[in-house]
Chain A
């Protein structure tokens, strides 16, 4: 009987994920359905009223248009409403990104630990969750503050958004409860559900946690994308005419979902990497150093791996923005916001340089790295040249004597480097070089033994050469010698070339590593300087997220909800770059301060006070213990 029960339990455990997933989907569907049902009678009732009054145009007469607040309708609390919401929203987004991302890779690490029976993975995953747990509470606090601020400072906008999304916001709140419960069970149940079938149950909880977290992200994204590209509304009056699903699935929803999902993983990996680096630098013994070195490496691995496809997701988002509104796209890429992309170039190049530097210094852990060290100077040269091209603007404001000497408003050599084709070449070559660093790092501690290794290496080299030639040719030929239509199309060739290098590199290496001899890796034997690269990554990511979030929001210009609800508040202008820089710096510093608090709290939980000493310097022993 006992055996039967265990067998049943084992079988049941394996079905738990499926059952719970169905339950979640059911819950969400029920929420949406309830919203749709709740809205339907209202519309019907209004139609009847209109018919009785004999109004001909039912559709326009029955639905409420978007509010048109005047300047005096915006509450004035003595400080810029936009700046207040800016700071709070950005802090909520930072922490939201962290707490949604960490469980994603924690689950993967936990699964690897379970499959390889290596407790190091399990311990590391558990430690990552400790960081995420404190951040979760802060996320919720900022979320609540944000909602209150928005209702206080932008009441008309919130009225309209509540009308558009209806009871979907309650589904969001319900999911938040579910997320909280799953998170706490997942973290506190870690050691109770550590081995055997119980581990499967724990992994299932992790999967559910991620499913709910990702759903939360997507729901919140729908509010953002509705404001940028409203759907399910009457284009003239802004009246809500579609179902909740039509309101949610605007043209930018899925591109933003993908972009934020990937970016969150890169960001989360970078933040826990900084945690590991801090612990590494503070470590008192070689064992601790080895553990945190390995933890930092793993975090960086996750972060860079997620970062590599991010430009492609960004490209899709921008392409969809152009497709939705060419005016909006041009405003971002060629209008008043375009200068911000020079700052973006500095930030992304910093990320790439820091990531590469960490890989190069990390190669010192294995003696086998000597075989590949010669390549570093060439990779570094391409990265530096790429950086210089990327930050070169198309033109700058010259003095009269400079214009005279140049013979025009554009520099003959540098100006062509300021347009997108040159920058695309630089970006894609930098990505390929970063992947090469990554590939060399992975090969550094291995001796490949497969018989076809020469053919494999030759094939890999050919793929690199063809991809690089393709990127340069497409960029120069289509970028400078054809019209704009082909110019945009050429970037597809460049994206595909880069993707082919990455995918084929992973596949070829995986096949070549079969039966490879592993060389000794000395974890902990890495320079302190390398750990600062792990700090540079999250700092730069944070700055970058805040900057690009601002650009995404600003393309709406003087509209709360693009084209249907105007922003008439005193802050409805696009601020100067300095102002943007100051605000982004402020939120990054705030995030850094909160992060240090989280690290401190995570450490505090492992600290135990020693018992006070008696007069004869022996520890006091509690009576109950004797």
Chain B
């Protein structure tokens, strides 16, 4: 019995130690993309570009490879418009595009039409791209979503956006995914939607990258809180860096809801 207890105790302790390792690592949940409806009639070029950026970073999964790690050309570091013109002039280019917009669309739909030297599938001598066609599964973006990404890529370097705003179709609504998220309905949902809990201690979260928000009402009035959200660099707490992003797609209702909520937080101090 002693041997049984000793060996069992040792085994269980080891198992729990491994479980403990998962507790000290960052906790993230990967939600499945949700299909949402965008009212085309309400789109402005500004929101269309924001939608493109969200798709680029999110459902489009472009940033997974197009980053500084060198797996694919880092589009955020390049001037996409001028680089596209260079590619069109490249003698190796055999595609059908004649302008930047068409070239970018073709790159997403038929990635192997032109492969940048050094980025082809291994053994293909840069004739085959490892990038999937993004209108096919698993990415499966709609034509409207692809246009939004093109608009974002053109706009990010200050170049003119040549993609026209989508026109209102038949029933005025076109289904794209994931599009601009629906407005949050509660302060908790706003905090979750904009990822505030990742950096700030608020509600149940404990984070130290940004100031503690559990007692923010002791230090700031509602107007100051509003200013800090609208312009994160306006007032920076002592010992903190300006790493908080702006939230251009936060609705007025969401902003007021969260300001009202934070203005009542007089809880524990950090």
In chain A, what residue has the closest Cβ to B211? A400
| B125 at interface, CB cutoff 8 A | no
A565 to B61, CA, bound (A): 19
Q: In whole angstroms, what is the CA distance A577 to B136 when docked? A: 30
B203 within 8 A of A: no
| B15–A334 touching, CB < 8 Å | no
* Alpha-carbon separation in the docked complex, A381 to B33 (Å): 47
Residues of A near B169 (CB, < 8 A) are none
A588 touches B15 (CB 8 A): yes
A22 at the interface (CB under 8 A from B): no
**B-facing mask of A306-349, CB < 8 A → 1, else 0?**
00000000000000000101110011001110010011001100
Residues of B within 8 A of A339 (CB): 25-26, 28
Asked if residues A585 and B32 are in contact (CB atoms below 8 Å), the reply is: no
CA gap between A346 and B28 in the complex, in Å: 20
Which residue of A has the minimal Cβ distance to B208?
A: A399
B118 located at the interface, meaning its Cβ lies under 8 Å from any Cβ of chain A in the complex: yes
A398 contacts partner chain B, Cβ-Cβ < 8 Å: yes
A403 and B241 in contact, given A557-B32, A581-B21 (Cβ under 8 angstroms):
yes
**What distance in Å separates the Cβ of B112 from its nearest Cβ neighbour in chain A?**
13
Known contacts A334-B64, A539-B15, A558-B33; is A577 also within 8 Å of B7 by CB? Answer: no
Q: Are B65 and A585 in contact (CB under 8 A)?
A: no
Tell whether, in the assembled complex, residue B21 and residue A346 are in contact, meaning their CB atoms are under 8 Å apart. yes
Chain A contacts of B252 at CB under 8 A?
Answer: none
Chain A residues whose CB sits within 8 angstroms of the CB of B239 once the complex forms: 400-401, 404
B64 adjacent to A400 (CB under 8 Å): no
Contact (Cβ within 8 A) B138 A563: yes
Query: Which DSSP category, helix, strand, loop or mixed, fits chain B's interface?
Result: loop
CA distance A562 to B22 in the complex (A): 27
Within 8 A of A (CB), among B1-47: 3-4, 6-8, 10-12, 14-16, 18-23, 25-33
Whole-angstrom distance between the alpha carbons of A441 and B120 in the complex? 47
Contacts across chains A and B counted by CB atoms under 8 Å: 149
A324 CB to nearest B CB, Å: 10
For residue A350, which residues in chain B have a CB less than 8 angstroms away from its CB? 14
Known: A330-B65, A400-B241. A573 touches B15 (CB 8 A): no
- Evaluate contact between A573 and B64: CB separation under 8 angstroms: no
The minimal Cβ–Cβ distance linking A116 to chain B, given in whole angstroms, is 32
Instruction: Mark interface residues in B236-258 (1 if CB within 8 Å of A CB, else 0).
Output: 00011101000000000000000
**Complex interface bits, B220-244 against A, C-beta within 8 A gives 1, otherwise 0:** 0000000000000000000111010
Expressed in whole angstroms, the minimum distance between the Cβ of B95 and any Cβ of chain A is 21
Contact A573 B32 (CB under 8 A): yes
Q: In the complex, A101 Cα to B136 Cα: how many Å?
A: 41
Q: Is the C-beta of A626 less than 8 angstroms from some C-beta in chain B? A: no
Q: Can you report 7 residue pairs joining A to B where beta carbons are below 8 Å apart? A: A236-B137, A277-B7, A278-B3, A540-B14, A557-B30, A573-B30, A578-B22
Known contacts: A330-B64, A562-B138. The answer to whether A582 contacts B19 by CB under 8 A is yes
Which B residues touch A298, using CB under 8 A? none
Q: Does B15 lie within 8 Å of A535, measured CB to CB?
A: no
User: What's the Cα separation between A180 and B11 when bound, in Å?
Assistant: 32
B209:A557 contact, CB within 8 angstroms = no
Tell me which residues across on chain A come within 8 A of B61, comparing CB atoms.
Answer: 327
Given contacts A326-B131, A582-B19, contact A484 B70 (CB under 8 A): yes
Most buried by B among A539, A559, A573: A539
Q: Are the CB atoms of B10 and A584 closer together than 8 Å? A: no
Query: Which B residues touch A334, using CB under 8 A?
Result: 64, 69
Residues in A whose Cβ lies below 8 Å from that of B3: 278, 281-282
Residue of B nearest to A531 (CB): B7
Interface residues of B (CB under 8 A from A): 3-4, 6-8, 10-12, 14-16, 18-23, 25-33, 61, 64-65, 69-71, 118, 121-122, 130-132, 136-139, 207-210, 239-241, 243
Chain A residues, CB < 8 A from B240: 400
Name the residue on A nearest B11 (C-beta): A539
Known pairs A342-B25, A577-B27, A592-B12. 15 more at Cβ < 8 A? A278-B7, A323-B122, A326-B71, A327-B132, A336-B28, A400-B240, A532-B10, A539-B11, A543-B15, A557-B30, A562-B138, A577-B25, A584-B19, A585-B19, A592-B11
Q: Which residues of A contact B29 (CB under 8 A)?
A: 573-576
A336, B30: Cβ atoms closer than 8 Å: yes
A484 near B31 with CB under 8 A, answer no
Residues of A within 8 A of B20 (CB): 581
Name the CB-closest residue of A to B140.
A563
Q: Which residues of A contact B71 (CB under 8 A)?
A: 326, 330, 484
* CB-defined contacts of A347 to chain B, threshold 8 Å: 18
B123, closest chain A residue (CB): A323
Query: Are the C-beta atoms of A325 and B132 separated by less than 8 Å?
Result: yes
Q: Which residues, 99 to 158 on A, are CB-close (under 8 Å) to B? A: none
Residues of B within 8 A of A181 (CB): none
Min C-beta distance of B132 to chain A, whole Å: 6
Q: Is the CB of B209 within 8 A of A398?
A: yes
**CA–CA, A585 to B31, complex, Å?**
23
Chain B nearest Cβ from A273, distance in angstroms: 13
In the bound complex, how far is the Cα of B30 from the Cα of A336, in angstroms?
7
Contact status B14-A577, CB under 8 Å:
no
Top 10 closest pairs, chain A to chain B, by CB: A581-B22, A574-B30, A558-B32, A563-B137, A484-B70, A585-B19, A576-B27, A577-B22, A572-B32, A400-B240
A563 to chain B: which residues have CB within 8 Å?
136-138
Q: Are B8 and A596 in contact (CB under 8 A)?
A: yes
Q: How far is the CA of A403 from the CA of B240 in the complex (A)?
A: 9
Are B28 and A576 touching (Cβ within 8 A)?
Answer: yes
A236 partner residues in chain B, CB cutoff 8 A: 136-137
Known: A557-B30, A584-B19, A588-B15. A327 touches B137 (CB 8 A): no
